[in-house]
A = this chain, B = another copy of it.
Amino acid sequence: MWIQKEILIKPRNRGFHIITREIENQIGELKNISVGTAHIFIKHTSASLTLNENADPDVRVDMESHINKLAPENASHYTHIFEGSDDMPAHIKASLLGNSVTVPITNGGFNLGTWQGVYLGEHRNNGGSRRIVVTINGE
């Protein structure tokens, strides 16, 4: 069985945000899959998807502080600078963190660890709504 949906998620501030529930809510068919995978893919190059801790919000704060150190704004070696100082760092962050996650499906739901949530990394100051393609395959 294949299910594919292109969903638009609401605009977020720059930083990391848990979107597990927002995705699950849009794919009710998930409950009919006993074993499979969900491929969650963001159609942008300045935002990312990753999995990380869903409990303490400080983890998301620290992820943002730290990724800003790994890919700072206004580095002297950047040449792609005409879209704003947040743009080239956003591209770097997107490739370091990744643009998709694949999650196992077991007994009608995402088979995540207790502490795992799907993170949206919004790397632009004003990224707007983001487009995500969810492709579910299973039986």
Contacts and interface: CB of A to CB of B under 8 A. Distances in A.
Nearest to A89: B66
B2 A138 contact: yes
Given A35-B2, A135-B35, A80 B102 contact: no
A97 B96 contact: yes
Interface string A37-80: 10101111100001111001011011101100111000101111
Contact of A88 (B62, B71, B97): B62
A92 B66 contact: yes
A101 B100 contact: yes
Contact of A66 (B42, B58, B71): B71
Contacts of A20: none
A26 interface: no
B36 A2 contact: yes
A3 B78 CA distance: 40
A103 interface: yes
A52 B44 CA distance: 8
B51 A104 contact: no
A116 interface: yes
A131 interface: yes
A102 B104 contact: no
A81 to B, nearest CB: 8
Nearest to A58: B80
